[in-house]
Amino acid sequence: MSADLSAPVQAAAGWPLLGAALVAVSAAVLAWPLLRRALRTLRGGASGAVPPARLAVVYERRIGAIEGRWEAGELDARGCALALGRLVRDYCAEARGVDAAALHLRDLRARFAPAATVIERLYALEFAAEPAAGRTAGAPTLRAHGTPPAQDGPPLDGAATRGALRAVRRLIAGTDGGQRPAALGASRGSGPVGARGPVGACTPASARAAHAGAAPTGRGPAPTVPAAVREAR
């Protein structure tokens, strides 16, 4: 009977090495996202260092290309703002290690306040109202009493887009101090907003004079009474 028994089959010497290699590859795949995030943070996200000059040159070229398309009429103000928003988010990820595309604006402000301020300004352009001159024939017009239809925001204009381009350039150059810029280049409450805003410093002198001499509405000054009428009284 002992002749029928055989010794155990020995495993090949290469199997332990193959198993160790598979374990190492699996660990590397699982750890790669965490390692990549740590490398981005060490590259400058936590220290707040100014990005390398080469990176600034690359993004300046991208800004110039977007500006050229806008000036050529290939992009309107909203399209330009959308393209600039994507550029700013790419810059946050590449230069600062911040995944701005996956962050709420409030969270981005806590991690990279200047970029959040610029993106908020671009939002104002994306959701601004169309100018009256650019509306189509079927768009709403002024009402009978001169009251304009409601708008989603201040009207679009070239100055607002120019201001957004300058803000993005300051961010890329590292010269943005994080101050909150006024939406669409005008400070809040400093002048008329749309066609229904208050009369302020941005109102032309002729309009202010007409407003000052208008009939009283409960808030404006009383009209001037001629001297002859005062004497008759």
Domain spans of the chain? Answer: 52-132+152-186
- pLDDT, tens only, 171-196: 988 865 443 333 333 333 333 333 33
**CA 213, 214, 218, 224 torsion-angle sign:** positive
Residues 6+ apart with CB under 8 A from 229: none
Predicted confidence (pLDDT) at residue 139 exceeds the cutoff of 60:
no
Q: In whole angstroms, what is the distance from residue 190 CA to residue 218 CA?
A: 21
Phi and psi dihedrals of 155, rounded to 5? -70, 150
Q: Which helix (H) or strand (E) holds 142?
A: none
Predicted confidence (pLDDT) at residue 158 exceeds the cutoff of 60:
yes
Per-residue confidence (pLDDT) for residue 64, from 0 to 100: 94
* Inter-CA distances, 80 with 69, 119, 224, 231, Å: 8, 13, 50, 64
Which segment, 37-46, 82-91, 191-200, 211-220, is predicted with the most confidence on average? 82-91
> 3-state DSSP helix/strand/coil percent for the chain, to nearest 5?
60, 0, 40
- pLDDT, tens only, 58-115: 999 999 999 999 999 999 999 999 999 999 999 988 888 888 888 888 888 888 899 9
Which segment, 67-81, 197-211, 218-232, is predicted with the most confidence on average? 67-81
